Structure 1
Amino acid sequence: MASFVKLLSSVLLAVAFASPALATPFPQSAKHATHRVRQVTRDLAIETFHPPSTFETFDTGIDHPLSKRADFTLKDAALEFVKSHLSLDSGAITFKSGFSGESAKHAYIKQIHDGVPFANAVANVAFNHDNKVVSFGSSFVKPKKVAPSKPTLTVEEAIAAAEKTLGGKYNDHPATLEYVVKADNTAVLTHVVQIENAETGAWVEAFVDAHTGELVTITDFVSKASYRVLPLQKEILTQGFETVTDPQDTTASPQGWHSDGTTSTTTTAGNNAIAFKGTQSSVTSQSSSGLNFIYTQTPSAAPTTTDNINAARVNAFYLVNSIHDLTYRYGFTESAFNFQNSNFGKGGSGNDRVTISVQDSAGTDNADFATPADGQSGRMRMFLWDITNPKRDGALENDIVVHENTHGVTNRMTGGGTGRCLQTTEAGGMGEGWSDAMADWTEKTSSAVPDYVMGQYVTNDAAGIRSHPYSTSASVNPLRYSSIKTLNEVHDIGEIWANVLHNVYAALVSAHGWSATAKTNPNGTEGNIVYLHLFLDALALQSCNPTMLIARDAWIQADVNRYGGANKCILWNAFASRGLGTNAANHNDGTSVPSGC
């Protein structure tokens, strides 16, 4: 059992295309920031390329070309700054999206050629409320050769090629025409189409050369009333179910969890989520008597018994709605590209609530979350685990559900709602780390920061499914920035980032205390509140496909934006304690901190 569980530690919560290691060695760690190997089918592996990102922070802000104008607009100011900063002309860029958060205004800019956007080139500019630029991230490119902007193959021909190569079907999402820059620094014109496989759960954007029909690259979207539930602060069902009444936060969900403002239900369906047992093509939901979702789970019975299915469905629905409301309070709102059917006129694209398939028949011993662009539903699939007898249900282990749902948050908030900006090995690894870190945060019940273990219930192992507990003790968890050199799988890399953030959390709580009401009141000064604000603020600041160094810098700048840099030394010392000091570089540890810290 122990050896089997240790094997699972490298594959738990894997994306749909993640598979056992390739026969050939993985690229050296220097490529973690720009590449990632995707095992598409048993016989097809694609090494995707993403231009390296740069990220600059400007503390309290710098002026931009339109600083003197009284009529500041986010779109105009961002475009003028990017043109000036990168010496580009107006025909090379276009405004994609933007929103105003509590501590900063964010704009996302696309690079274009002959009116055609580059799929893997994006810039993001953040302004403070004095309208000064506080950060700039970019993965813009200077290709040595650009293909003609008029396709010679039709989109129908591209769809047929993609379906044949990927073993799936086009899902009728509108195709686009976009450039893709390859690792050899040439830009190819591509038809971009979405391909899904209902049996495997695969869901990708396929970029098919519009002149040759070659599959160039893919974006993998999958990151592998009264309710009787496990409250959010609990991790596993052995801690006990409780009946919670009216848990919805009406600031985040103004019509509650069972209405979108026009349609009300008495099922596990509402504006933010729908939970069901079935297939994605046959969505159903669980009805209740009134709004009383009270089902008693029987651990000794098979998870497929009726009451156990209902208990799992209700628990998953409760958790996804709870994380919606929690992250909404901290900035993951409609205009910041969240998941809602109705956005109530508050910005962003609607019709994209999370679909939750419990006891999904497509797999075992796993779970995943697919994050397409704003306007398409996030898709969560929870599987059964067959390590024990009877089997156990991943939807009844809160840390797994929270982990998966957080993939939607981080993929939407990084890069402006595209779902494309955590695709490299290192960025994908941090995606796994953020998901573990969010689960860690939700389960704190006091100012104590004990070691944290993931996946105890489904594996029936107190050691969980990670290689080490997350800990403030370097002897309990020795992982640090330089550990990336020996790792090549996203969940393993994620353990490094999650452990770094565990230590950041501990430092902030030690300095500022802990709030018991942080889940519904983000206005306090306690350390757990400060931590979660910086967690989400930094996502919107950082560049597309960030590295750990970039993500660290985004946290430091987020603190300047929101708290005037009050936590600068706390943050730097925590990062440096795990090798991410000011002199860290190229996956070599640095323990230095700024002068005065």
Structure 2
Amino acid sequence: MVSLTSLSAVALLIASGVIAAPWHSNIPHHTHRSRGVGPTGINLVSYHPPSVFEGYGVDGAPFQSVSQRPEEIAKSFLQEKLGLADDELIRHAGHTNDGVSYDYFTQTTNGIPISNTVANVATKDGNVVSYGASFIKPTNIAPKEPTIGQDRAIALSEEALGGKWNGWPVKLEYTMGDGGSCHLTWAVQVQGQNSWKQLSIDAHDGKVRNVVDFVAEHSYHVVPFSYQDPDERLHDLTYLYGFTEAAYNFQQENFRKGGKEGDRVQVSVQDSSGANNANFATPPDGQPGRMRMFIWTATSPNRDGALENDIITHEFVHGVSNRLTGGGTGACLQTTEAGGMGEGWSDAMADITEAKTKPIPDFTLGSYVVNNPKGIRSYPYSTNMATNPLTYGNLKTMTEVHDIGEVWAVTLHELLNSLVEKCGLSKKLDPSEESGNSIVL
């Protein structure tokens, strides 16, 4: 069985810069992302400590542990590998799929989690298959007793973003700073008309120390997956591939199968808060995802983005990738490079679900809404370099996540084409199938 959940380790590997990107070394795309937010356009920076990653083959490497429970093997492995004491990490999530257990840990200090750190360990039959970690040794740890209360932190967050606290419980946690300082912060979720962010407000001086943007925007530069409800079909398809209750999916009732329930996707069609776009908000497991589809005005009459399956697929997969990466937090794809990978995955999923003929044809996204066969990307996704000239080397000139995503998506288009040529094309996508399109998904 092929599993979507196995890609979470790949996400942490590539998105954290373990595979060298061609950017100049003074542009930290793998650890930072800058955003202008709020009514005044203040600049806020997301920071994710650099990561390490190791893989040990399909069968994994033996590891001696007192307990044979996957979560205990994973914790003992991290303690030995990273030189951590028992009280310096805490397991925040985990699940098992297709015989592989995935456990996720957060670094702690003074008994308090450090919000922007994460480690994941995959184990199989008592062996360690892979691990990734963004833990970092703090150089200066703030006192654990706050001098600013929750109410003040909420007010500062609302002021910064021009929105309102959504009532989600405010958490006290540490946030790792760029230079190794460990700031005590309040995590406050604030929503606006078309925004949903979590700010880390310093619990001592009130400064914004980090930002998580739960909303992934579509991008506008200028059907036959199913004729049924594509959002429901996508839920069922990704469920088959491992995006289940225990793996932090979007579902109102989890039927005692793990994970947090009450978080079905809320879809707003012909939403009046925007135009020529679409977005998907991915809060942590247990909070409903939110998809907004807007009217597109490039044609007369205007066209409805909810009538184009590839746009719906693109948006829904933002929810899948943000939930699977990091163990259901919705907070791991925040840097420029990681955000670019998220955009690429979303385009690639739309490509894969619409591939019905062999050889794989060129794929364009958003052709219907703009009434243009070229779609809304710079180039069609193609194996022909004359049609799409993008290569890995183009990343050195790219700073925008959708542009970066186009490089990742055309790479996956090449993979789709090669696997279909080798293994054939199935009319249905199913992890039990050995067709190229089922394997690539």
TM-score normalised by length of structure 1: 0.67
Are residue 527 (structure 1) and residue 436 (structure 2) matched?
A: yes
Are residue 466 (structure 1) and residue 373 (structure 2) matched?
A: no
Question: Which of the numbers 326, 337, 356 marks the counterpart of 2:267?
Answer: 356
Q: Which runs of 5+ in 1 are unaligned?
A: 1-25, 225-229, 234-241, 245-317, 533-597
Distance 1:120 1:473 in 2: 40
Question: Which of the numbers 303, 306, 314 marks the counterpart of 1:403?
Answer: 314
Shift of 1:420: 0.5
- Aligned AA (1:47): V
Aligned pair in 2 of structure 1 residues 413, 107: CA closer, same or farther (>3 Å)?
Answer: same
Give 2:48's aligned residue. 50
Aligned pair in 2 of structure 1 residues 27, 150: CA closer, same or farther (>3 Å)?
Answer: farther
Q: Deviations over 1:300-342 (max 9, x none)?
A: xxxxxxxxxxxxxxxxxx1110100000001100000000000
Shift of 1:142: 0.9
The question of whether the paired residues in 2 share the 8 Å contact of 1:64 and 1:80 is answered with no
Q: Deviations over 1:541-589 (max 9, x none)?
A: xxxxxxxxxxxxxxxxxxxxxxxxxxxxxxxxxxxxxxxxxxxxxxxxx
Distance 1:524 1:491 in 2: 31
Give 1:173's aligned residue. 168
Are residue 160 (structure 1) and residue 155 (structure 2) matched?
A: yes
Give 2:205's aligned residue. 212
Give 1:495's aligned residue. 406
Shift of 1:476: 1.6
Give 2:251's aligned residue. 340
Shift of 1:30: 3.6
Give 1:77's aligned residue. 73
- Aligned AA (1:215): V
Distance 1:43 1:193 in 2: 19
Are residue 32 (structure 1) and residue 6 (structure 2) matched?
A: no
Distance 2:156 2:201 in 1: 8
The question of whether the paired residues in 2 share the 8 Å contact of 1:29 and 1:488 is answered with no
Aligned pair in 2 of structure 1 residues 28, 360: CA closer, same or farther (>3 Å)?
Answer: farther
The question of whether the paired residues in 2 share the 8 Å contact of 1:94 and 1:110 is answered with yes
2:254 alignment partner, SS class: coil
- Aligned AA (1:181): M
Give 1:547's aligned residue. none
Distance 1:462 1:525 in 2: 32
Distance 1:525 1:155 in 2: 53
Shift of 1:27: 9.0
- Aligned AA (1:171): N
The question of whether the paired residues in 1 share the 8 Å contact of 2:24 and 2:396 is answered with no
1:121 alignment partner, SS class: coil
Give 2:64's aligned residue. 65
The question of whether the paired residues in 1 share the 8 Å contact of 2:224 and 2:354 is answered with no
The question of whether the paired residues in 1 share the 8 Å contact of 2:30 and 2:335 is answered with yes
Shift of 1:507: 1.2
- Aligned AA (1:61): G
The question of whether the paired residues in 2 share the 8 Å contact of 1:434 and 1:498 is answered with yes
- Aligned AA (1:49): Y
Give 1:573's aligned residue. none
- Aligned AA (1:441): I
Distance 2:352 2:299 in 1: 28
Distance 2:403 2:272 in 1: 26
Distance 1:28 1:89 in 2: 33
The question of whether the paired residues in 2 share the 8 Å contact of 1:109 and 1:124 is answered with yes
Q: Deviations over 1:197-241 (max 9, x none)?
A: 1x2x110111000001111121000001xxxxx5425xxxxxxxx
Shift of 1:43: 2.8
Distance 1:177 1:142 in 2: 20
Shift of 1:150: 1.1
Distance 2:53 2:357 in 1: 36
1:207 alignment partner, SS class: strand
Give 1:223's aligned residue. 216
1:31 alignment partner, SS class: coil
The question of whether the paired residues in 2 share the 8 Å contact of 1:343 and 1:349 is answered with yes
The question of whether the paired residues in 1 share the 8 Å contact of 2:45 and 2:211 is answered with no
Give 1:580's aligned residue. none
Mapping for residues 477-488 of structure 1, pairs under 5 Å: 477-488=388-399
Mapping for residues 210-359 of structure 1, pairs under 5 Å: 210-224=203-217, 231-233=224-226, 318-359=229-270
Which aligned runs of 4 or more in structure 1 are off by greater than 6 angstroms? 26-29
The question of whether the paired residues in 1 share the 8 Å contact of 2:48 and 2:335 is answered with yes
Give 1:447's aligned residue. 358
- Aligned AA (1:64): F
- Aligned AA (1:212): D
The question of whether the paired residues in 2 share the 8 Å contact of 1:178 and 1:192 is answered with yes
The question of whether the paired residues in 2 share the 8 Å contact of 1:402 and 1:438 is answered with yes
Q: Which runs of 5+ in 2 are unaligned?
A: 1-22, 218-222
Query: Identity of counterpart residues, as a percentage?
Result: 48
Distance 1:517 1:232 in 2: 10
2:266 alignment partner, SS class: strand
Distance 2:25 2:130 in 1: 30
Distance 1:513 1:463 in 2: 27
Distance 1:392 1:475 in 2: 31
Shift of 1:469: 0.8
The question of whether the paired residues in 2 share the 8 Å contact of 1:65 and 1:84 is answered with no
Question: Which of the numbers 56, 62, 82 marks the counterpart of 1:86?
Answer: 82
The question of whether the paired residues in 2 share the 8 Å contact of 1:29 and 1:484 is answered with no
Q: Deviations over 1:152-179 (max 9, x none)?
A: 1111111111111111111110111111
- Segment drifting more, 325-334 vs 72-81: 72-81
